[in-house]
Every structure is written in structure tokens, then in C-alpha cells.
Structure 1
Amino acid sequence: MGEAEGGVRVGESPLRREDLGALFRPATAERIGLEIECGVVDPETGRAAPYEGEHGMGAVLAAVLKEWSGEPLYDGGALVAVRLADGGLVGLEHGGQLEYSAPPADDVVSAVSDVRERLAALSEIVGRHGLALLPGAHLPFDGLGTVSWVPLARGPIMRTHFAGLGADGSGGAEILALSTSTQVHLDHLGEDDFVQKLRLHAAASPVVAALFVNAPLHEGRADGVLSRRSLNWTRTDPCRCGPVVPALSGMTGFDDVVNWALDIPVLYYRNGSGRLRRGGGRSFASALADGFDDGSRPDFDHWTAHLGQIWTHVRVRETLELRAADGPPHLHFSAVPALWAGLTYHRPSRDAAWNLLRHYTLDQQREVSRRLPLEGLRTRLGGDRVHDLAAELVSLAREGLTRRVAAGLERPEAPGYLDPLDEVLATGRTFAEQCAHRWRTDLREDPRRYVAAYRV
């Protein structure tokens, strides 16, 4: 749930309905962006570091700013992010999770190499504060009672909103405080290309989520849930989470996404004085027609921010942001961009993957999303084994990457990034099941051993 910069600027031009699709402008090339969120934890207890203090996350960010330079970004006077000179960003999520957003790269290997280098450097910085950098999908030894909230102005608004939804929002606070992930940003080259890519991404996301489940521990216990993160996403405001509905409902262009997003309520907005205000349950379409509750009218920055408050499997803004997969173990995070790039940036693989998945209904996609946190690859989608569908997607992605290597668009090592997924599929043991087994055996249910095994 990004916006690490603490909000958006507020422009001056009033917004018109016909302006909204301009956000989805085509790229000039197909590039790859990566975002990695990690816990920053005490290596002895596995508990997340607080924001405050000499060795808190505020101090860690200050060290990043001092050593790497860049532009400090504040929220209410608190340092919450550093924008780097190359366009990358190091920022904090609500529970102190550290996010590195890499600048876009021309190929998968370049993107992965940049992230590996930056994470190694961040690991060194947090290590000097007596902390450890812990990738994955969910802080394994914390609960809501042990995390320290980062002073982000939108945080209390979001937590109040989720609490007001009852059961439908019961996972929202944990998503804010405890979840981590590996997210991929991909480009489209025009409206038809946008439709083809988005519909594939929407259809494939639950299968990919089942393949990558990797959050089996919560508050230091393995309770049989394979992805606490995916489970929480099923109870974090259903109107703004889950499938991108138009992508699975015969969409034909940008307008389908615009119309869908217009009907979603505004969660919060920044007024002319720069302060955040609650959206009051008003849809963006209503705000566009009649203004916000304070009488102000939305501009293009409000529209951009509104799309950032929609946390579907694929988030649609300037890029296609692929969010379904849990963060894998650090050694294997490269499998996430490799899978998505191989499926997306090779037209025959993309078409074959869409033909594999196109007949599943929106209700079937929603059902598999509800079941996969507990069942992983054993989940069935419309009666078919997700394991078999995932195997076909990995094969198509490998073919796509291999063809891109032959065309000079990828480096030769890119297809090998998928090898860990071959092992998962061959054994039927997901990253979550491997982790839970290790937790009970060689890690001896010891947080110190766990952190030593999985840290960067």
C-alpha cells in the first residue's frame, strides 16, 4: 500500500471525465520495474523494529539518506522515504516494513541485479543498527499488538475505514502492519496491448498467488495457513481488492477500467492546504460531478491517488502493477519478475496463457482466491487443478524468456530464474510448506534460527 512519499501534489486544473484515461498512456518500450518489501527485525526475537529510537526505522532511513543521498520525503515532519538520484525509492510501510522500489530496467536480469545490490547494501545499513533485513510475505513473529505504527497520515484513516467494514475489513490492519511482497511493474504499448496484458494478468493472478504462497507463520506459529498475506487480502475491503473486474468481464479498452474505478469510493484525498481528509463514502464519479464534501473539486492528482487506493491483484496506473504473489525467499525472488515478464512480453506465450485461462468465470476466480491461502497448489479453479495450470504458466514463461534471449532482449540467465518453481511443481511443496517444515525441524521453532536462515 505504497505512496511512500506521503501523498500527492494537488494541481490547479479542474478534472473532466475525458481526462481520466490519459493516465494509462502507452510506454515507448517494454521495461521491468520491481518493488521489494522486507521486514526489518531484531535478529534474536524476529520482532519488527519500531520507527522511533536511535536504532529505529527513522534512524535507518536517515542513514540511507546520509550514505546514498537523494531527496528526503516527509509526512507530518517524519522522514518516511528517500527518493534516490536514479529514480529509485526507499520508503516505509505502516508497520515499519522497508520497501525498495527500483527504477525500471530493460530486462529481467538487470532489474534483479539492481535489487540484489540494493538489498545487500540495505542489509549492511540495518545490520549496523543491530537489525536484520527479512524478505518474504508476512512478518512471522509479530501481531498487531507488537508492531509500532509508522507516523503516516493516511494510516489512521485506513485503519478506521477497515474497522468500520466489520468482517469485510478484518484483515486490513494486518495488511498494513505485517505484509511484505515482491511486486512487478510492466508496460503496455497501446490500448489493444493494454487490454491483452491486463486480462491475462487478471486471469493468471490467482494461479500465480497459489504457486508463490509463502506466509505460513503468524506470531511465531505455523497454524496450517499457507499465506496469511493472501488470507488477509480476502478480508480487506472487497470493493477495492481482488480481481480487476472489467478485465474478466469482456473489457475492450481504457474506458472500462475508468468506469469501474469511478464507482469505487474515495478513501481519502488531499485538500488544497495539503491535509488529508476522509472521502466520506463518496465515489470518485460523485466527487467528479459534485465535488468533495468540503466543496473542493478533484484534479488529476486526486485521480492518480484514487487509483493508488485500489489494491486489486493488478493495480492499473501508469504501469500494470502485479501484486498477487507472496514474496518468495530472498534467493528466489527473481522468479516473480521472470514469470510475469516471460508470460507478458512474448506475444505467443501471452496468447497461449490467455487461452488457457480465459474460460474461467469471475466467480470462479474469486472462489480460488478465497481457497488458495489454505490450499496453495491443491486449490481447484473451476474443477481444474491449480497445480496443472501453474505448471503450464511456468512452461510458457520459460518459452517466452528463451525467445526473448534469442532476440537479444534478455540475458541468457533469465530462464534459469524459473528453476525454483520447477522444484515447487515437481515436489508439490510450495515455499510455504518448505518453510513450515523447516520451522518444525532444523529451525527448532527458534526465531533466531529462522532469521539467520532467511535474512538477506
Structure 2
Amino acid sequence: MSGPSQSNPEIIRAKSQMVDYLAAGSKPKADWRVGTEHEKIGFSTKDNLPLPYDGPCSIKAMLEGLQRFDWTPVFEGGNIIALKRDGASVSLEPGGQFELSGAPLETIHQTCGEVSRHMREVREVADEIGAAFLSLGFRPDTKLEDVPVMPKGRYKIMRDYMQKVGTMGREMMFRTCTVQANLDFGSEADMVKKFRVSLALQPIATALFANSPFTDGKLNGYKSFRSRIWMDTDPDRTGMLPFVFDEGFGFEQYVDYALDVPMYFVHRDGEYLNAAGKNFRHFLDGKLDILPGETATMQDFEDHLSVIFPEVRLKQFLEMRGCDTGHWDELCSMPAFWTGLLYDQAALDAAWDMIKDWTAEERQTLRNEVPTHGLQTKFRDVTINDLAKQALEISRTGLNNRARLNAHGENETIFLQDLDAMVAAKRSNADRLITKFNREWAGDISRVYQECVY
């Protein structure tokens, strides 16, 4: 979940400014980069309880300890809430989920190096304070009311509003963890094709990375409960965006969609003003009641874009948002999967051919059923596992064509190996965890704190 943008005080006087803002994300292929974000669940190794914000074993202690690695602290209201370094950031999510927002990098080799460095740093500090982090997409046994609340102003606004628009918004905020890849586009037409392909294939990625089968210490009946939660969080700002497949879709149509999504807040002078449920179009006209006569700026628009949560989100790049956090290697395989599909023209064309005749109803049905059935979800006369195998073959072609090599002469296809194994076995992480819980763990959820740790 993104924080407030850097200051952009330009007053919005026409819709074209917002359209141009999105269009400015277009880059020549040589400048395309990959950004990877992932969250993880912190806990005390003494008692498996979640990390509070403050104290000797806490989120604050983690943020302070990591500064030895040249991270610069970011404060809000006197509290340290994030770290910055070389285009990357470490931040805390509403329930203390610890997030790395990686820098835009040229290759998956670099991405994996960044993830590995971050994990080594986190482990060094965590070991000193008696903490560790889980590689799961949902808190396995901590009840919602027992999750600590982090001291960030926007989260109180969101927490209060979530109860009015869905039944699971607080679950999303406080108990879920995701891994996300951010990818570039070359033009409006390229953005549209990538948006459509990635939206259609997002349920396949959800099934591959399904990793949240536990709630309150028990099996919850889902492969990806995190994905199920997003289906009842806030229908105004989530979902599969069928209009993306409409003829004529482009930057302007996404701006129109974004302007109709209710607001959360306005950020002014370091404070978050509660604008939950209000209309951004009124703000454009200087008619927002909490700031009478004041007109929205481009910073306000950027902030607004950051609190829209569809399965694929458009900013000045495209964000893949459908996956549960997984173990260390999967934090590299997830961006590799999408990079192979979207960054080579032959692969992108093949992916489009794969999904171009899927109907809006079929895409939505996949979205609805994958959280429960995962790789075993039926589609026409095949399963999602069959589609995942096909998508992986296309991604492999794309990564081979990119031919980005590491020091050992290996290209980026090495990062697909875990996914290949899943498809061959027809079993995701969730499937394996369900079997372990029912058999060798004998229903003892505490085993996750030994077996699902970074």
C-alpha cells in the first residue's frame, strides 16, 4: 500500500492534466524497469505474538535497527514510519506488516539481489530483538482484535470507512500480506494490451501463489483467503475492471474511473484530513466541504490513485496485485513471471492470443472461484493448472528472448523453477500447507512459526 506522494502542487484545471500524467509513464523499451514490493508478518519468537509498534521487540525497533544499513528514516507525527534508500523504501502497513518497496531495476537478477540483501538485513536485526517474519499471505492465528494498530494517520480514516462499504476491509488492512510487481509500458496502446492481458491472467497468478489457507488457527476453506477478502473490501475501488476491455479504452477512461472512486483523505501540512466517501470531482471544482474553495492539485490526484485497489492498478506503470506473499524464492519468481509475459512482444502477443476470446463473465468467474479452488479451478474443459502451464511457457519464451544473464551465464528463466514445480505437481503452497496441517502437524498451527519463516 503506497504512502503519500512527493509534493506536486500543480493545480488541476482540466482533465487533460490527469490524462497527461498517466501518459507520461510511457517509456522506450530500453528504459523499462521492474519494481517488486512484498509484505511479511512479524512476530515475537518468544510467544509468536504480533509485533507491536513500540517496545524492545517491535516494528519501531526493526526500523531503528535497519538504519545501520544506510537507510534514512521517515517520520510522521514524531513516529518513525518508513525508511528510504537508493529508490527503495521499507514501510509499515496498518497491522504492522513489514513492506519492502523495491527500486525500479533492469533485471530479475537485480530484483532477487535486492530481496536477498533486504532479507539478510531484516534477519540480522530481527535476531537481535527476538523477532522473525512469516512467509504467508494471511496471519494464521492472530485474531483481528489482537493485531496492533500502527500510528499512521491515513489508517484510522481507512479503518473507520471500511466498515461502511464491506465486511472484510479491516481484515485486508490488518491481516493480509502480498507480493506485487510493477511494470512499465511504451505507449497508450502498449499499456492497454498489457492491462488486458494481466487482468485476465491475474487469477492464474493468484492460484499459483495461493498461500493463505489459515484463519484463527484453523483451515479456512480457501487456498487464498487474502484474495477472497478483497472481494468484499470495497466494491467501488476493487475488482476486475471489465471496462478495460471496452473498445476505445485508454488513459482518459481510467481517469474517468478514478474520479468516480470515493475519496479517503486529503494530505495537507503533514496531516490527513478525513474525506472518506467524498467525491473527487467536487474537489476539482473547489466544492469539497472540508476544504471549501480549495482546488485539487496533482499531488492530490496521485494520492487518490494510490488508494484504488483493483486486481491490476494503473499509475505511471502497471501494478500486478493478485498474489499472496510466498517464501524467499517466490519473491523473485512472481516478478519474473510477469516480466516474461509483458516485456517481450512475441510473448505479449501469445498471451493476448491465449485470453482474447475470454468473456467478461468468464474472467469474473475465474476471479470468484480461484480463491477457493486454486490450481484446481475449472475453466471450460481444462483447469487453471493447465492455463498456468501455458502461461509459464509463454513467460519462459519472453525471458529467453530478453536474454538478461547473471554472472554465471544464466538468464531469468531460472526464477520460474518453483512455479514449474508447482504446475508439475498441481499443488500450490496452500495445497502443501493444507496437507501438512491435516497430517504431520496434526492440526497444530504453531508449526507455521517454524516452517513458514523467512
Of the three residues 314, 317, 331, the one matched with 1:316 is: 314
Q: Is the 8 A contact 1:241 1:313 kept in 2?
A: yes
The reply on whether 1:190 has 2:192 as its aligned counterpart is: no
Distance 1:406 1:100, change over 3 A: closer
Does 1:275 find its partner at 2:271? yes
**Relative to structure 1, is the Cα distance of residues 106 and 286 closer, same or farther in structure 2, using a 3 angstrom cutoff?**
same
Q: TM-score, normalised by structure 1?
A: 0.92
CA RMSD of aligned residues (A): 2.2
Distance 2:172 2:107 in 1: 30
Query: Could you say which residue in structure 1 is the equivalent of 2:232?
Result: 235
CA-to-aligned-CA distance 1:292-347 (integer Å, 9 cap, x gap): 22212110001001110101111111221111111222233322011100001111
| SS class of match (2:149) | coil
* 2:108 aligned with 1:108: yes
In the alignment, the residues of structure 1 paired with residue 133 and residue 277 of structure 2 have an alpha-carbon distance, to the nearest angstrom, of 38
1:219 corresponds to 2:221:
no
Q: Structure 1, residues 401-432: CA drift from partner, whole Å, max 9, x if none? A: 11111799x96242121122222222221110
Q: Which residue of 2 aligns with 1:159?
A: 159
- State the shift of 1:22 in Å: 2.7
Stretch of structure 1 that moved more, 110-119 or 299-308? 110-119
Asked if the contact 1:349/1:400 (under 8 Å) is kept, the reply is yes
* Partner SS for 2:137: coil
Map 1:8-407 onto structure 2 (within 5 A). 9=7, 11=9, 13-24=11-22, 25=24, 26-28=26-28, 29-65=31-67, 67-84=68-85, 86-165=86-165, 169-271=166-268, 273-293=269-289, 294-295=291-292, 296-381=294-379, 384-405=382-403
Contact 2:44–2:57 under 8 Å retained in 1 = no
Give CA-to-partner distance per residue, 1:371-409, whole Å, 9 cap, x none: 21111122234665322221110110011111111799x
**Residues 195-239 of structure 1, C-alpha deviations (whole Å, 9 max, x = no match):** 121111111112211222110111221232111100101011011
Q: Distance in 2 between matches of 1:381 and 1:152?
A: 42
Please tell me whether the aligned partners of residues 264 and 274 of structure 2 are also in contact (alpha carbons under 8 angstroms): yes
Cα distance in 2, alignment partners of residues 48 and 366 from structure 1: 35
Question: Aligned partners of 1:2, 1:126: CA distance in 2, in Å?
Answer: 24
Structure 2: gaps (5+ residues)? none
Contact 1:8 1:270 in 2 (8 A): no
Q: Tell me how far 1:45 sits from its aligned partner.
A: 4.2
C-alpha distance in 1 between matches for 2:55 and 2:5 = 25
Note closer, same or farther for the CA distance 1:339–1:144 as it changes in structure 2 (3 Å cut): same
Take 1:15 and 1:300, find their aligned partners in 2: how far apart are those partners?
10
SS at match of 1:239: coil
**Cα deviation code 1:235-255 (max 9, x no counterpart):** 110111111343232344211
Q: Distance in 1 between matches of 2:298 and 2:176?
A: 29
One-letter amino acid of the structure 2 residue matched with residue 160 of structure 1: D
Counterpart of 2:410 in 1: which secondary structure?
coil
Partner Cα separation in structure 2 for residue 239 and residue 383 of structure 1? 33
Distance 2:94 2:312 in 1: 21
Say which SS state the counterpart of residue 325 (structure 1) adopts: strand
Deviation at 1:444, TM superposition (A): 4.5
After TM superposition, the structure 1 stretch with the greater mean CA deviation from structure 2, 40-49 or 174-183, is 40-49
Instruction: Indicate if the aligned counterparts of 1:227 and 1:373 stay in contact, CA closer than 8 A.
Output: yes
The 8 Å contact of residues 2 and 93 in structure 1, kept in 2 or not, is answered as no
CA contact (8 A) 1:288 1:298 kept: yes
Tell me the SS of whatever aligns to 1:333: helix
Shift of 1:284: 2.2
Judge conservation of contact 1:163–1:170 (CA < 8 Å) in 2.
Answer: yes
Q: Is the partner of 1:330 in helix, strand or coil? A: coil
Tell me: CA distance 1:10–1:135, structure 2 relative to 1, closer, same or farther (3 Å).
same
Q: Does the 8 A contact of 1:46 with 1:140 survive in 2? A: no
The structural deviation recorded for 1:12 is 5.1
Residues 1-49 of structure 1: per-residue CA shift (max 9 Å, x gap): 231xx56546253442110023222134111111111111123543321
Match for 1:103: what amino acid? Answer: A
3-state SS, counterpart of residue 177 of structure 2? coil
- Whether the aligned pair in 2 keeps the contact of 1:44 and 1:447 (CA below 8 Å) is no
Distance 1:36 1:407 in 2: 24
Match in the other structure for 1:435: 433
Match of 1:258, as an amino acid? V
Q: Identify unmatched segments of 5+ residues in structure 1.
A: none
Distance 1:46 1:2, change over 3 A: farther
Contact 1:72 1:83 in 2 (8 A): yes
Distance 1:356 1:60, change over 3 A: same
* Per-residue deviation, 1:140: 1.4
Under a length normalisation based on structure 2, what TM-score does the superposition of the two structures give? Answer: 0.93
The sequence identity of aligned pairs, in percent, is 27
Distance 2:395 2:10 in 1: 44
Q: 1:108 to 1:7 in 2, by over 3 A?
A: closer
Q: Is the 8 A contact 2:185 2:317 kept in 1?
A: yes
Asked if structure 1 preserves the Cα contact closer than 8 Å seen for 2:69 and 2:121, the reply is no
1:171, 1:235 within 8 Å by CA — same for their partners in 2? Answer: yes
Distance in 1 of aligned mates of 2:105 and 2:115: 11
